[in-house]
Amino acid sequence: MVGGGCYGTFYASQLAKAKVRGKTDYRTVIVVDRNQDCQARRELGEAHDREFVTGEWSTFFDAWLPDAPRTPHHARDDQIVPSPHMPHLMFEWVLRRARERWPTRRVSAGPVPGTVPTPYDRSAEGLDHTRYVSWADWICPTHCIEPALCPAIGAPRTWEMSDSVRELAQRLHVAGPALFVCKHQVFGVGMFSADAVRAGDRLVEEAGAGGDPVEILVGTISSCHGALNLLQLGAR
């Protein structure tokens, strides 16, 4: 669970309710927040299946993602529940991994070029050049699960962000895309697999194995929204 503020509190509460009602099952919900007295800890408290980690998100993922425990008897891997307003943490993790893997190569984040046919398209200022895209040009309902029938327009949803990003990668002739797709699972809680992030890291490793310059498109997306970055590797 990324963050123990209002969103993390809501998601952790919804997961607990879903488990009590037999709609889902899990070993432990881990809530990560740099504030030891975060809202989720105050309102929900620790439990046998809920724990809190005080620290920066990037530090936590650096330690947890490479070797996160998997239980063979569980059909699904560990899941990451993002906050709607978090930075592009999974790209940042993949970028750090690439720099550790190739300390003598130029590894950087570049702006994502090309045209995306979404009504919302903004690039962040700063070093990471994150490009935020969305098929919604309206204010989405809070905790929308992105159903086939869009509640904002009262009509079928005719778009899928994963298709749009794959088409963009083809037009740009770049590697990937490495996509971390957040999908609704239960009681308004969306998540993506930790193993999908590891797969994105492997994709970067394979793309850069030849030693030639290469660019890899990386995105954390849902059906309607996305955060995109271009990971650039210089020659070996």
The parent domain of residue 140 ranges over 87-181+193-236
Of the residues 19, 53, 85, the one at which a domain ends = 85
* Residues 72, 208: Cα–Cα separation, whole Å: 31
- Where does a domain end: 51, 85, 119? 85
Q: Has residue 186 been placed in a domain?
A: no
- Judged against a pLDDT cut of 80, whether residue 70 lies above it is answered with no
Residues 91 and 208 in one domain: yes
Percent with pLDDT over 70 in the chain: 96
Which of residues 85, 104, 121 is at a domain's end?
85
Task: Judge whether 168 lies within some domain.
Answer: yes
Radius of gyration of the chain (CA): 18
Report the C-alpha gap between 202 and 119 in whole angstroms: 32
Global pTM? 0.92
d(CA 90, CA 208): 18
Q: How confident is the model at residue 68 (pLDDT cuts 50, 70, 90)?
A: low
Q: Is the pLDDT of residue 65 over 90?
A: yes
Confidence of residue 72 (pLDDT cuts 50, 70, 90): low
Confidence of residue 71 (pLDDT cuts 50, 70, 90): low
* Residue 69: predicted pLDDT: 56
Cβ neighbours, 10 Å, residue 105: 17
What's residue 75's pLDDT? 44
When pLDDT is averaged across residues 106-123 and rounded to a whole number, the result is: 95
Q: What is the pLDDT of residues 144-154, one digit of tens each?
A: 999 999 999 99
187 in a structural domain = no
Please calculate the CA angle 58-109-128 and round it to the nearest 5 degrees: 60
Mean confidence (pLDDT) of the chain? 93
pLDDT value at 117 more than 50: yes
pLDDT single digits (tens) 7-31: 999 999 999 999 999 999 999 999 9
Q: 74: left (phi > 0), else alpha (psi -120 to 50), else beta?
A: beta
Domain tally for the chain? 2
Average pLDDT over residues 117-136: 90
* Same-domain status, 57 and 13: yes
| Residue-wise DSSP of 103-167 | TTS-EEEE---S----SEEEE-SSSS--EEEES-SSPPPTT----SEETTTTEE----HHHHHHH
Same domain, 63 and 112: no
Give the pLDDT band of residue 142 (cuts 50, 70, 90). Answer: confident
pLDDT at 85 over 90: no
Same domain? 119 vs 219: yes
